[in-house]
Structure 1
Amino acid sequence: MSDVTRRGLLATGTVLLREGGVASPEYDAAELLAHVLGVSRGALVLVDHITDEQADAYLALVGRRAAREPLQHLTGVAHFRHVELGVGPGVFVPRPETELLAGWAIEQAVRVAGEEGREPVVVDLCTGSGAIARSIVDEVPGALVHAVELDEAAHAWATRNLAGLGVDLRHGDMATAFDDLAAGVDVVVCNPPYIPLEAWESVAAEARDHDPHLALFSGQDGLDAMRVLEERAALLLRPGGVVGAEHADEQGPDGLGGGAPAVFAATGRWADVRDHVDLAGRARFTTARLAR
């Protein structure tokens, strides 16, 4: 096909995705065409021939995306920091904003290695696809990384993504995980479910209809899992160890009851309770240090 036809395919795909309510129609249209052609998005301009079969396959994927099936389910891949993860039905698709929480955990692990001259022990609770755990292994050589996931399908994806990396991956509930590591962990990191049950209707279709509900919803105020995390982190961390957890932007320090930071501050077990904003300036994750 000619260059005009390629542009025409992208234009058609963009229109269909915009009509379907997709938030980033141009980006997704290009990603899907690159996926069908087996090239990078940046290399699309170099493509000078598209078969009818490829065009049909592309338009079929565009139709599924316009119906709000997640882009990453269609391509089978999610990019997170510097790693590539396999994703699909049954696992929460990692979001770009979670990269900030992973970066914080990486910085803390590097700090332990530098200041104490030993391998940092890191626990990733609610690992999902294994995104945070894999990023830590990738960016902190020598870190001793442990991860747990309750959902069976998500655990299978994590098993695939963490295979051969030396991560201690377990299938279980974060509320009872890693008793054998009690008081010996340097960093606990978690992207827990945090959507209030009453917010069901406001959740994007990609998440509500395709992400596991176990990874999304957490009680009437969305903080049930955060409370469990606070208790488990207090048991796992060594004195002075740190915990970091993502939350909804409405659950920052200005949220109802003080939001996620108040879950930690109210117990008296934690020092340096801080909230952090994402690149858009929205409250995004809370960190705290176990009092010595």
Structure 2
Amino acid sequence: MSDPRTARRAAADRLRAAGVASPERDADLLLAHVLGVPLGRLPLVEGLGEPEHEQYADLVARRAAREPLQHLTGSAAFRHVELAVGPGVFVPRPETELLAGWAIEQASRLAAPVVVDLCTGSGAIARAVVDEVPHADVHAVELDEGALAWAERNLAGTGVDLRHGDLATAFDDLAGTVDVVVCNPPYIPLEAWESVAAEARDHDPHLALFSGQDGLDAMRVLEQRAALLLRPGGVVGAEHADVQGESAPAVFAATGRWLDVTDHRDLAGRARYLTAGLAR
């Protein structure tokens, strides 16, 4: 048996040296995962058996190599749900919970809301919406087959209409009937390759990350598709990069189809997502 406190300290030191952003928390989460206990019970663990110690050391080494934490644990928390994630799907970020919260707020105001989640990835936003607004009619689409498999797993049994397809052509059958369109599209400029965190650049699907020279190619497609899908007065919300606080809303404002084009900041004060209403 080994001392878990010593193992945790050594793991955190290794992760810190590797440039991991939250070494102490990641070390704790990995140990809790190995032991199958909640984080709050870690201080009560008195010993670490050899099999657990070896498994922990292996996971710490993989995390130090910048494999995403969620790939190692197999899950990611998103608002009030737990999502299955792993290789082949974009790991949902905490910042996206704000966009999901906006969509939930909009849908909850309506008696029978129709919500469309474009570029659903793991199914995070669609799953959160149907979890918190159970009377909503939720539809989601994903192009990447690897990500679609994870979305199928996360949305199974929820009643969400999940389809395989491109955001540019999805849901023609819903044209003019949708109340809320929500999307976390790819938005990283191709030229920003080197600045992307290793966890995302080396492990997330590039289809979910990069979007043309200025990062706004998918946003332009989204603007057109949302205008087709929404009923007059319907609303759209889309995440974007923190440096796109002016350029992303401008995609919508420039067409003259939208009212109340507004940008919103995340909890760190960075520009994070835009919203707009389709003119009546």
* Structure 1 partner of 2:150: 157
> How many angstroms apart in 1 are the aligned matches of 2:190 and 2:171?
28
What are the ranges of 5 or more consecutive residues in structure 1 without an aligned counterpart?
Answer: 254-258
Give SS of 1:124's match: strand
- 5 Å matches for 1:233-244? 233-244=226-237
Structure 2 match to 1:167: 160
The answer for the alignment partner of 2:5 in structure 1 is: 7
- State how far apart, in whole Å, the 2-side matches of 1:157 and 1:43 are: 30
- Structure 2, unmatched stretches of 5+, are none
Q: Percent of aligned positions with the same letter in both sequences?
A: 78
> In the alignment, which of 133, 142, 146 is matched to residue 140 of structure 1?
133
Answering whether residue 47 of structure 2 is matched by residue 49 of structure 1, we say yes
Between the aligned partners of 2:240 and 2:140, the Cα distance in structure 1 is 19
Partner AA of 1:37 in structure 2:
L
Distance 1:110 1:262 in 2: 28
For residues 167-216 of structure 1, the C-alpha deviation after alignment (integer angstroms, 9 at most, x for no partner) is 00000001000000000000000000000000000000000000000000
Q: 1:68 aligns with which of 66, 73, 87?
A: 66
1:36 paired residue among 24, 34, 37: 34
Partner of 1:23: 21
TM-score by length of 2: 0.99
Tell whether 2:190 aligns with 1:197. Answer: yes
Helix, strand or coil: the match of 1:209?
Answer: helix
Q: How does 1:270-285 map to 2 (within 5 A)?
A: 270-285=258-273
Cα distance, 1:61 vs structure 2: 0.3
Cα distance, 1:41 vs. partner? 1.2
- Code of the residue aligned with 1:221 in structure 2: it is D
Deviations 1:192-248 (A, max 9, x none): 000000000000000000000000000000000000000000000000000000000
RMSD, aligned CA: 0.7
- TM normalised by structure 1 equals 0.95
In the aligned structure 2, how far is the partner of 1:73 from the partner of 1:95?
Answer: 13
Quote the residue 1:209 is aligned against: 202
| Inter-partner Cα distance in structure 2 for 1:43 and 1:171 | 41
| Runs of 4+ with >6 A deviation | none
Match of 2:218 in 1: 225
The equivalent residue for 1:256 is none
Q: Distance in 1 between matches of 2:245 and 2:47?
A: 51
Give the secondary-structure state (helix, strand or coil) at the position aligned to 1:230.
helix
- In the TM superposition, residue 49 of structure 1 has moved relative to its aligned partner by 2.7
Q: How big is the shift at 1:152?
A: 0.1
- Name the CA distance, whole Å, in 1 between partners of 2:170 and 2:130: 20
| The one of 227, 238, 245 aligned to 2:238 | 245
Amino acid paired to 2:165? G
- CA displacement at 1:43 relative to structure 2: 1.1
CA distance in 2, matches of 1:236, 1:43: 48
